[in-house]
Structure 1
Amino acid sequence: MTSVTWQRRRTALARFWLQYRTQRAGLVGAAILVVAVLAALITPFVIDPTVMDVTKATGAKMAPPSLEYPLGTDESGRSILSMILWGSRVSLLIGFMSALLSMVIGTVVGIAAGHFRGWASAVLMRITDWFLVLPSLVLALVLSAILGGSTSTIILAIGVTSWASTARLIRAQTLAVEARPYIERSLALGAGHWHVMSRHVLPNVAPLVLANTTLQVASAIVAESTLAFLGADSGQASWGSMLRGSYDWGATTAGAWWYILAPGLCIVAVVLAFTLCGRALETVLNPRLRGVAR
């Protein structure tokens, strides 16, 4: 039985890859993400972390790109390229983890609100509406200021303030799934709430959750960069904190375009890559979207 199950999963993955390969934009996005993730993973093995120490910087301040410093230096003489690589670890970590936290909360609340009716659903949806009405960025800024600056704080602040739209989406899909006849037959045979939600509803909403998670990572990276620019950084170098540093030290007026352009382009490229992958996943996993322009 186990071998049959694994065979079905391998067949499903092969079918998914064949369909995903037809999405050219998705392949471009996946290639960018692979490069970004590999760069973040190998950075500790190729670049000494002491390069981030301002007391050990040896370069000229605000020096333009050169052979020694391909992307120039910052206000302390540190290599922008090294900061970009080390900053990618923090930005990607916050993006992935906060999106994961957001999707877990949104999925649990959405399935529960769609499955349970009456006062339970009403309470969950009123809480969801409250989070939808409040500006998530402002709420995340307040939370990070109260809890203190750290990577885990930023992840928590972004994750707990960005799940409401996901909950709405999952609830709508849950209502559609539970309207199908086999759900009624399962309940008639004595299936409990946990069985219906975990065995029937969750597998059917999982493709939507996967596609939405990819898009949520892009939003989380933008949110982290915005929070860092506003001063609520994690205490470690990230692309957002680099933009903040370029602003504080007047990189624009000093003509240090490399200090602004490098982290800005990294944010744009990674966010675009996640968006392309998310749209491609949405097209592959939703049969009604297949055949649209790629």
Structure 2
Amino acid sequence: LNRYGVAPLGVARPANTPEVASVVKLCREAGLAVVPQGGNTGLCGAAVAEQPNAVIVSLSRMTAIGKPDLESGSIVVEAGVVLATLHEALEPHGLMFPMHLGAEGSARIGGLIGTNAGGSQAFRYGMMQDLVLGLEVVTPDGGIWDGLRAVQKDNAGYQLRKLFCGAEGTLGIVTRAILRLYPKPRQQASALLVLPDFAAAVSFGAFLRGEAGEFLTGLEFFSDVGLRLALKHVPDLAYQLETRGDVYLLVELASGSSRVPLDEILASALEWGMEQSLVSDGALAATGAHRAQFWRLRE
């Protein structure tokens, strides 16, 4: 359904930063609105034209991924890179970019920066602005701001890059970014929990954050209303527990060390939650496939 926007005057598909700058300059001179567009996975209509005299600037051709810098833990990517493609590119290097969300198969880096995406691991690694070390941006006058700095401990003046994270393209069009990388975890422990109400979920979440500390990477909520709709409309989706409740939590712990007893920590927290009548039912993921089923259900 065309729920938002109108047909634009046209769509520009630049292949590099100078071409983006040229498009912005031409549109400025012609008095045309410019609408940056990434993967177009958002649901609020921010990446479509609101008026006929507008040009959509799609970053879909700008998909270059640089070589990971192992020493600094960073990588340079263009704004049109699809998040899942970045994950695949990092796999052979033992590194990861800790941003995961349901639309990662189509969401692009520029859009994630423009919306300051949170993702499912924000508890551990922060929002998108915390994962961006540097940016290259085409400004509204067609100029190019070079803020591609890979320094993690950077206190040299204004942190201008953070202004563009969450600005939805209103301050400029992000064309390239230096992203912060982390070592890939050696082990993970996941659990799907059933809780009686939202208050119980808040209380258990507070306990878990204290108990699991820096190992807590995911704490995702969904309701039975959402679960019922998902099971009704996604034919091959499976619910793995015997009981249902009003509220569900998907919990995940991760560590770069194989010596941390993540399963014991999570099982102990689950036992405490049941003793306190905060958790009605739950299951630990026994295999990687089991964990993937949990996450697919949430997503």
TM-score (norm 2): 0.21
Q: Could you say which structure has the higher helix fraction?
A: 1
TM-score (norm 1): 0.21
Q: Could you say which structure has the higher strand fraction?
A: 2
Q: Which has the higher contact order (CA 8 A, sep 6+)?
A: 1
